[in-house]
Structure 1
Amino acid sequence: MDMQDCIEYCLTKTGSIHDYQPLWEADRVKVAGKIFAIVGDLNGRPSITLKCPPALAERLRDEHQEIIPGYHLNKALWNTLFLNGKLEEALVKNMIDISYQEVSALLPAYVKKAMAAGENPQAIK
């Protein structure tokens, strides 16, 4: 998967929106204002940074050379995946799914209810 494929897949998630943060030189994908994916270059290498449970984050780093602790984020909860073609697409998509679930689970109940009803979570106050 390349960076654009990752962004497009992230945008299939309910309530997700994409923007670009010039200061970070990175694309962000959010749900209800909360980031669940950061896509950009890390030292010239295309990458995506995603949230996941701590035990899984550590296990993935041990199993895959292309997965490192989240750059500039809480190392226990975030991983950076290098998009160099060495990671299987199914793994990258699964990690996007997990990141979205981790972030969505922390949203207030009224936001989750509104999203389930098809409302735009960005518009909910």
Structure 2
Amino acid sequence: MDVSVIDKQLLAHPGATKALHEKWGWMVYWVGGRQFACEFTTSPDAKPPYTGRHLLSLKCAPDRIRELVAEFPDGILPGYYSDERTWISVDLNADLPEELVLDLCDMSYELVFAKLPKRVQREIIGTE
């Protein structure tokens, strides 16, 4: 999948920013000081099934994680290097529907935004 399309979708949300995590070489997306996505390629030494994959890690509802991993076992994995109960990793080289991946980007943002303090939420959407 085209990373520029994903980047545009992630940054379209209010208050969304991105920054390179230089130590890891990952592009990390933030809202209100909290991570809601990251895009990276794992090393050839990474533990299978993550080995050498180009991944997008996203926050996800736990029930949805089970469904997605069952439905797309080669394209959606439990979150790499994160809490597998609340994060997924999408293989950007897998044959996944673009609409699904973009919807998952939106869900990730919404889940993280909803957990921000109300004051921060108001600042981000400009109602304060």
TM-score where L is the length of structure 2: 0.87
Q: List runs of 5+ in structure 1 lacking aligned partners.
A: 120-125
Which residue is 2:121 aligned to?
112
Contact 1:34 1:103 in 2 (8 A): yes
Task: Report the identity percentage.
Answer: 31
- The one-letter amino acid of 2:113's match is S
User: How many residues are treated as equivalent by the alignment?
Assistant: 119
Contact 1:3 1:47 in 2 (8 A): no
The Cα shift of 1:81 comes to 0.3
Give the alignment's Cα RMSD to 1 decimal: 1.4
| Structure 1 residue corresponding to 2:55, chosen from 24, 47, 58 | 47
Which residue is 1:12 aligned to?
12
**Residues 31-110 of structure 1: matches in 2 within 5 Å?**
31-42=31-42, 43-65=51-73, 66-110=75-119
Q: List runs of 5+ in structure 2 lacking aligned partners.
A: 43-50
- The one-letter amino acid of 1:107's match is L
**What do residues 33-64 of structure 1 show as CA deviations (whole Å, max 9, x unaligned)?**
10100101123322100001101011100100
Runs of 4+ in structure 1 displaced over 4 angstroms?
Answer: none
Looking at structure 2, the residues matched to 118 and 4 of structure 1 have their Cα atoms a distance apart, in angstroms, of 30
Contact 1:3 1:48 in 2 (8 A): no
Contact 1:10 1:29 in 2 (8 A): yes
Looking at structure 1, the residues matched to 29 and 69 of structure 2 have their Cα atoms a distance apart, in angstroms, of 23
TM-score where L is the length of structure 1: 0.89
Flag the 1:32–1:103 CA change in 2: closer, same or farther, 3 A. same
